Structure 1
């Protein structure tokens, strides 16, 4: 067991001290800080910057109401200027950047407002969107006034229809609980996706790198393949948890300083403790399953450039799991979702999705976990045999037939 801890801590410390890990962690931490303070950054650059919009009002009626409507919408960064010249002159002002854009107001066939928006580019949809919204509100007010509707009647007309959802099952989740569960499932899906693809490839590359330097021939004779394989898997897992802890601390402190309510922001304010426990269980089991596969396949490769080719099938399984989970968010009771929740490669995401959104029987959860653990043990046993022989195989690994060769080498 001593040798297991030596492999684990060697993997962890070596990767932790690597310049690439430190640089990537710093860069991503800065990006996390920037994203969580994006509103302040945008406001800093947009401070006191007004967009000047020229207006040619061919109706001589809609300019003032439009200006009033923009004021009601609190669009203070837009400044309208009534222009009595020609469209050609207005276009010239935009081209010379005296104005940011200009707008022509006219009547449509029902004597209601219509507009044409001119700008050097229409890539900035923020300005045109605000103008369009204000004109739509103006048109609605004029149209309802024409047919004799009072303001309170208009308000009543646009009120959302009361639509209450009531579940008849005893332990069925409410709409609020389902929304919270969706937030947690999204978080687990993306975390699993990042962990498996980023750190799984790291495990495979770590094995391939040592193998290419022939260090593996010495290691495999002194440390059992199971100890070595799981030492690397757990060492990289600790490294990933270290990196995620740093990023979480940066993001959490930044959100807190901005007075955001973090758990409400991601929709898990009142998630039951049992659901969070299942999230951790399925996350760890899913990581162990995929990491075992990555380590096994990495042992068959002696060149780093071959790693991605060999691990592609596992990557496709992760992607399939991701897309099934996205489908299951809208249809968690689908028979397809129920079946895939018992398939070990998909269970970490799909069974957890069902737990979060439905009232799943205890025996179903226990069966899914048992199948998942059984699959991990099976692949750990097979993987150890392939690992021991695979690390002694050199040359390009071109097919899955090389697994048979690795097992034969292990027997010898």
Structure 2
């Protein structure tokens, strides 16, 4: 354990001080800050449109009550007074309303003023027009309320279990879970692009510099293998923590922004049940660990740092298949998708999306997670054994030939140990 801790500290400290790691961490934050700044500036730059209303008092009062951050209605006793305010640029436009039902109105907008859409004005007048007509028809308050009540439509998504039993789930919760699954898939793939390359290069650099012999004189290959993986995982944890702090700081700074409030109101966090959260996080952790182990194994097969690209290519191609399959999952459940969901390396990317949209049950998701976890344990043990063989082997052949050669050597050593 002491040897693993030494390797862990060396990998963690070296990378956390490097410019390349900070560029990986800060690039998404900088892009996000730029995009947020543009949206925030555009929302702040748009001023409230000032609309002068020339109409009878009930209409003026009704429109004034509908003033918002986008449009403010101001009352004027005459059109001449409103036109003077328009000329002085106090108003952006004048709304002249004829009180005879159904209402007709005319809007005069200043060319260089804030624009107000006809839809906004029509919506504001519709309720007042309906109330005026109801009054003419002598409708009571309850009758008017019933008249204005919109039809209520409840949406349910239907799924069928393997036994043919139909199950229903609310559409709103599916949208929220699907958004979380999509974010996790993007983070998953982004982390693989960054840390898969970092892991392979970490090992390839040491092999290429021929210092591996000196390292192995003091630390076993297995301790070195697990120490490097734990060091890389610690860097991922720090990156996620920094992103969490950045999101929290952004929320505290911009929680009163209309755009941010709109986004938060559209998210139904109550639909993120414990089963989905546990499964999604479990797949994320197991999947990242699996790909990190694979990157370390393939990195040990190359002879020089220049060959590190050969080691990362299989990792990137395999993860790309899983990422594309997770996107295609929304198109429906197919036999191929059912099979891919239980294959290690692919299941951790596909299953969260399928669970989010209700294609699979929680039990099926945890079964896939169990398969991936069991595979990770066996794969990590085998990779550590092969790493011991590969780390001092140098070959100019391609990575697949090196992998086959490594497997043959490992089998030969195992047979020799039994003899």
Contact 1:292 1:380 in 2 (8 A): yes
Asked if the contact 2:329/2:353 (under 8 Å) is kept, the reply is yes
Report the CA distance shift for 1:41/1:165 in structure 2 as closer, same or farther (over 3 A): closer
Q: 1:165 — aligned with what?
A: 155
How far off its partner does 1:285 sit? 0.6
> Residue 176 of structure 2 contacts residue 272 of structure 2 at CA under 8 Å; is this kept in 1?
yes
Match of 1:290 in 2: 291
Q: How far, CA to CA, are the matches of 1:320 and 1:379 in structure 2?
A: 20
Q: Distance in 1 between matches of 2:384 and 2:231?
A: 17
Deviation at 1:290, TM superposition (A): 0.9
CA 1:163 to 1:270, structure 2 compared with 1: closer, same or farther past 3 Å?
closer
Say if 2:195 is the partner of 1:199: yes
Report if aligned partners of 1:7, 1:231 keep a CA contact under 8 Å in 2.
yes
Structure 1 alignment gaps of length 5 or more:
49-73, 77-129, 141-150, 153-159
Structure 1 residues 275 and 396: CA distance shift in structure 2, 3 A: same
SS of structure 1 residue aligned to 2:396 = coil
When the two chains are superposed, the root-mean-square deviation of aligned CA atoms in Å is: 3.8
The aligned counterpart of 2:89 is none
**What is the CA-CA distance between 1:195 and the residue it aligns to?**
1.3
Give CA deviations for 1:356-387 in whole Å, capped at 9, x if unaligned.
33274565334312321232233223322321
Change beyond 3 A, Cα 1:218–1:360:
same
| Cα pair 1:385 1:407 within 8 Å, conserved | no
Deviation at 1:325, TM superposition (A): 0.7
Aligned partners of 2:8 and 2:227 also within 8 Å: yes
CA contact (8 A) 2:301 2:399 kept: no
Contact 1:292/1:383 (CA < 8 Å) preserved in 2? Answer: yes
- Identify the residue that residue 5 of structure 2 maps to in structure 1: 5
Aligned equivalents of 2:294, 2:371: Cα separation in 1: 16
Among 229, 253, 257, the residue aligned to 2:253: 257
SS at match of 1:173: strand
The runs of 5 or more residues in structure 2 that have no matched partner are 48-69, 73-113, 123-132, 135-149, 159-164, 414-419
Task: Kindly state the Cα deviation for residue 192 of structure 1 after the two structures are TM-superposed.
Answer: 0.7
Separation in 2, partners of 1:19, 1:399: 29
Whole-angstrom CA distance in 2 between matches of 1:294 and 1:325: 21
From 237, 240, 262, the counterpart of 2:236: 240
Q: Which has the larger Rg?
A: 2
Alignment size in residue pairs: 321
Query: How far has the Cα of 1:308 moved from its partner?
Result: 1.7
Deviations 1:211-260 (A, max 9, x none): 11122223334433333222211211111221232133123311332113
What TM-score comes out, normalization by structure 2 length?
0.65
Deviation at 1:16, TM superposition (A): 0.9
Match of 1:272 in 2: 273
1:87-130, Cα deviation, whole Å (9 max, x unpaired): xxxxxxxxxxxxxxxxxxxxxxxxxxxxxxxxxxxxxxxxxxx9
1:180 lines up with 2:176 in the alignment: yes
Match of 2:328 in 1: 327
Matched, 1:223 2:219: yes
**Counterpart in the other structure of 1:401:** 401
Return the alpha-carbon distance in structure 1 between the equivalents of residues 35 and 409 of structure 2: 51
Q: Is the 8 A contact 1:181 1:267 kept in 2?
A: no
Q: Indicate conservation of the 8 Å contact 2:207/2:303, yes or no.
A: yes
Kindly indicate whether the alpha-carbon contact (under 8 Å) linking 1:29 and 1:246 is maintained by their aligned counterparts in 2. no
Aligned partners of 1:173 and 1:359 also within 8 Å: no
Distance 1:242 1:162, change over 3 A: same
CA distance in 2, matches of 1:361, 1:243: 31
Q: For the Cα contact (< 8 Å) 2:157–2:171, is it kept in 1?
A: no
CA–CA separation in structure 2 for the residues paired with 1:296 and 1:269: 41
